Amino acid sequence: MCVNDVLCQGGRPLLFLDYLAAGRLSAAPIDRLVAGVVEGCQQAGCDLLGGETAEMPGVYSDSGYDLAGFAVGAVERTALLPRTDLMAPGDALLALPAAGLHSNGFSLVRRAVEAAGLDYLKDKAPFQPEAESLGAALLTPTRIYAAPMRVLLSVPGLITGAAHITGGGLPGNVPRCLPDGLVARLDTRSWLNITQPAAATAAWVALVGGVSAEELARTFNLGLGMVLVVPAGRRQEALELAAAHGHELLEVGKLEARGGVDGEGDDVRGSQVVLDGLESQLSAVMAQLTAAGARPAPPPSSARPLMPVGVLISGSGTNLQALLDYCSKPGAAAKIVLVISNKPGVGGLTRAEAAGVPTRVIRHTEFGSREEFDLAIHSTLQAAGVQLVCCAGFMRILSPRFVQLWRGRLLNIHPSLLPLFPGLHVHRQALQAGVRVSGCSVHFIEEEVDAGAILVQRTVPVLAGDTEQQLEERIKTAEHVAYPEALHLVATGAVARGQDGRLLWQESHSAGKQ
């Protein structure tokens, strides 16, 4: 993908430098990884420089690995793109089709696959039945556009701008190559259909995941991997040149003048990308997918209402942020409706306000007893309609009365693998005990500190020479995964606290309980 970014500047890829890190190099599929990089360099027409290969036990699992890299290219200063000074209303928008999702939007894809109840290996792709499996269809490699771009860029002035469609979709990427005064009007009827693999994939995600057209457009490429700006009088020249060299080039729209400022000084220009016919085209493709056997998402009226959640904090709010991020995603089962802090001016309040969540500060120092303070919080939570309370760095021990009022609806996260190391100075306890793994636990709160039924646990390694701060930071990364997972389990009704204090799992989830 970085080669495609070089091409958008009008450059010629010269070299690629790779970096491979693994928990154990002997367990990583190095031969296949390197072969893939070599094939990519061949498609890009660039050299592969020997990068770094690192074995990093403790950072990665034994079977885990990461592959990264970057490309270097060159372009004459006079040929640098985009040439916004040469663009004008009426210029043609042409596009190189995408092979698939091009490595973007997979969080949304996973949600859709889960909602559809499909298996990546065992099930076929309804949107691409000729593919070996659903997983193979979704992982179609990103297309490298070096060959067609080399042809088109060889003619001076033929291409005045190019946009590589990655994260953010067409609305987020096309404006990168446009001047402020022009709008890209794209006619989705010219390409968005079931025969276009990437477009059909995106439509399937919308169908089974219940994703809106606007969100879809801001997440996926919708079938266009590279959008090009061509002078109006040279549109046919570009189409014929690409065809003569065996490259498919689509005619997808044109540039128009953008609105300006009205008489009252307000900006009325709107978006720089207009997608004509998007709703109708998606509906047509989704109808064809439904006829082919794809199961649409249930209508919103049958969906479980979002559980209103209150969060108690005292500090910077990193776990609060993890919960806010979860609640903002499609498929979330909860909504944070109130954040309460016992301290003013803390970072967690800023995070909540940035997310548009109401906040309250209730200072414990203004009450005569712990129970009076807790009852003030209880009344505030009730007034906000809260049904579930999450303590996220709340540095107060809750009174028995408060715990009784919210029993079974009160969660906490603790930075150890309970029942090991409850209470304070947790990381010091772990290091002094010489344990080789630690982690975090999300649990229901009971009157006894850190003693409730455990919903989710996540582990991290304890490395030789670790300080308390190093271990704390490593565990925080696990906390930011575990807490949203536990919230989802409770909010969806997958698990609850039984009358005996033990976890009560719904039968459909009991096989996967931890």
Report the distance separating Cα 414 and Cα 433, nearest Å: 18
Domain stops at, among 42, 77, 112:
77
257 touches 180 (CB < 8 A): no
Q: Where among 298, 316, 349 does a domain terminate?
A: 298
Q: Indicate whether 30 and 102 sit together in one domain.
A: no
pTM summary value? 0.59
Contact 260, 38 (CB under 8 A): no
Q: At residue 260, does pLDDT exceed 70?
A: no
Helical H segments across 46-194, by residue range: 106-116, 134-138, 146-153, 169-173
Residue 286 to residues 112, 134, 190, 318: CA-CA distances in angstroms? 14, 17, 17, 39
pLDDT of 514 reads 43
Residue bearing the bigger pLDDT, 233 or 298: 233
Same domain for 145 and 284, yes or no, is yes
Q: What token pair was written down for 258?
A: 């953008």
Do residue 39 and residue 149 come from a single domain?
A: no
Please give the Cα distance from 344 to 348 (Å, whole number).
Answer: 10
- Residue 381: pLDDT band (50, 70, 90) is very high
Residues 6+ away with beta carbon under 8 Å from 185? 93, 253, 254, 255, 256, 274, 276
Question: Are residues 294 and 311 part of one domain?
Answer: no
Paired residues of 391 in beta bridges: 312, 412
Find out whether 131 and 137 touch, Cβ atoms under 8 Å. Answer: yes
- Is 229 part of any domain? yes
Q: Per-residue DSSP letters for 27-64?
A: GS-HHHHHHHHHHHHHHHT-EEEEEEEEE-BTTB-TT-
Question: Residue 54 pLDDT more than 60?
Answer: yes
CB atoms within 10 A of CB 107: 11
**Mean pLDDT of all residues belonging to the chain:** 91
pLDDT band at 278 (very low <50, low <70, confident <90, very high): very high
- Which residues form the domain of 433? 307-512
pLDDT-based confidence at residue 267 (cuts at 50, 70, 90): very low
Q: How far apart are CA 125 and CA 137, in angstroms?
A: 7
Question: If 0-12 CB within 10 Å is exposed, 13-18 middle and 19+ buried, where does residue 262 land?
Answer: exposed
Query: For the residues 37-54, what does the mean pLDDT come to?
Result: 92
**Within this chain, do residues 347 and 388 fall inside the same structural domain, yes or no?**
yes
Average pLDDT (216-236) is: 95
Q: What is the pLDDT of residues 451-499, one digit of tens each?
A: 999 999 999 999 999 999 999 999 999 999 999 999 999 999 999 999 8
- Looking at the structure, do residues 331 and 424 belong to the same domain, yes or no? yes
Percent of the chain at pLDDT exceeding 70: 94
What's the pLDDT tens digit per position in 312-345?
A: 999 999 999 999 999 998 889 999 999 999 999 9
270: pLDDT confidence band, cut at 50, 70 and 90?
low
Give the pLDDT of residue 262.
40
Higher pLDDT among residues 254 and 300, named by residue: 254
Question: Total domain count for the chain?
Answer: 3
Position 263 in a domain: no
Q: At residue 360, does pLDDT exceed 80? A: yes
- The CATH number for 385's domain is 3.40.50.170
Q: What is the pLDDT of residues 62-82, one digit of tens each?
A: 888 999 999 999 999 999 999
Tell whether the model's pLDDT for residue 450 goes beyond 50.
yes
Alpha carbons 267 and 289: distance in angstroms, whole number: 40
Domain co-membership, 448 together with 400: yes
Q: Domain check: are 52 and 112 in the same one?
A: no
Partnered with residue 340 across adjacent β-strands are 312, 360
Higher per-residue pLDDT: 108 or 514: 108
Asked if the model's pLDDT at residue 17 lies above 80, the reply is yes
Tell me if residue 414 is catalytic: yes
- Out of 414, 427, 443, 488, pick the active-site residue: 414
243/354 same-domain check: no
